[in-house]
Structure 1
């Protein structure tokens, strides 16, 4: 006879637990749980980072000093806005002498989405080969333009690392860029 009161107690506890919604009073229709899951995933997804909401520092670099040498230029981004996500690679263009050329993504790298809270920093690195002054395959770069994924807006920075060697021509820079990585820790 004692089994009946225990079974009723267990059933009541189970019903009480399944009726808990945890998502507030905004749920309509269905079990509430599917609404909570959709709401949670929407909250967890951050918008793409906007270049206007980031502080960007180019360098200091390990600059290539002679033609044929390889140099590395670290670039640091600091999120000054709301929580946001960087996915993939930055868009980089170099310009000089009326020629504009894109810097390719490092094909050996596998980018992962990177979420930044306000004040968080991320980095990427530009690796390049210095060209010879006056060579037809060299681009005398004066400006570096940086765009974040999914946006056409750019910020321009002076290029002070010497001429950039081309792979086959000056419009095909011998340079690459890494994906975004968390800075610090």
Structure 2
């Protein structure tokens, strides 16, 4: 008679383990979907502008969720543009990102740190606009860049001396 209780116990354990499998990974509807650029309001600045070539400036970017709960999972995408030149701004070295869930009305921020370049120097990117995208989406939103030229690394304007921080919860 001992065989039946062991079989039932083994079957129950197998069913319990199967029930724990979510069947996939990534952001799902239970945890909220990825935040979309068209469903959040985005504000750039006010900035701490680098006053002269070689100085460092910081441009805060704030976003507020205007829709259903969503998740920011990764770094923001930032591109600086000058005429026909586009330069992607990399994430801060050593920065780690986590998941940040935003309910409707919740806000988050990130910062763009940059080194001011010399105006008219071929090793500086004379940026005129900034494009922002959110992780998990292809949509972008553009804003004017009015903080001066951005120094290039290694003498290349297409490799800006700038970085993007992780998302941080804003507000209460």
* Secondary structure of residue in 2 paired with 1:172: strand
- The structure carrying a bigger strand percent of its residues is 2
Structure-2 separation of matches of 1:45 and 1:80: 17
Match of 1:129 in 2: 115
* Secondary structure of residue in 1 paired with 2:148: coil
1:147-177 deviation digits (Å, cap 9, x = unpaired):
0012111000000000010002000000000
Q: CA deviation at 1:43?
A: 5.5
Matched, 1:161 2:116: no
* Secondary structure of residue in 2 paired with 1:179: coil
Matched, 1:141 2:127: yes
Q: TM-score, normalised by structure 2?
A: 0.83
Structure-2 separation of matches of 1:34 and 1:176: 43
| Count of paired positions | 152
Structure-2 separation of matches of 1:84 and 1:156: 21
**Unpaired stretches in structure 1, ≥5 consecutive residues:** 1-29
Q: TM-score, normalised by structure 1?
A: 0.77
Matched, 1:54 2:40: yes
RMSD value, Cα: 1.9
Matched, 1:70 2:68: no
Match of 2:19 in 1: 34
Structure-2 separation of matches of 1:42 and 1:164: 39
Structure-2 separation of matches of 1:90 and 1:42: 20
Q: CA deviation at 1:136?
A: 1.2
Superposed structure 1 runs of 4+ greater than 4 Å apart = none
Match of 1:10 in 2: none
Q: CA deviation at 1:115?
A: 0.4
Structure-2 separation of matches of 1:137 and 1:106: 21
Match of 1:93 in 2: 79
Structure-1 separation of matches of 2:28 and 2:165: 29
Match of 1:176 in 2: 163
- The structure carrying a bigger helix percent of its residues is 1
Structure-1 separation of matches of 2:169 and 2:75: 13
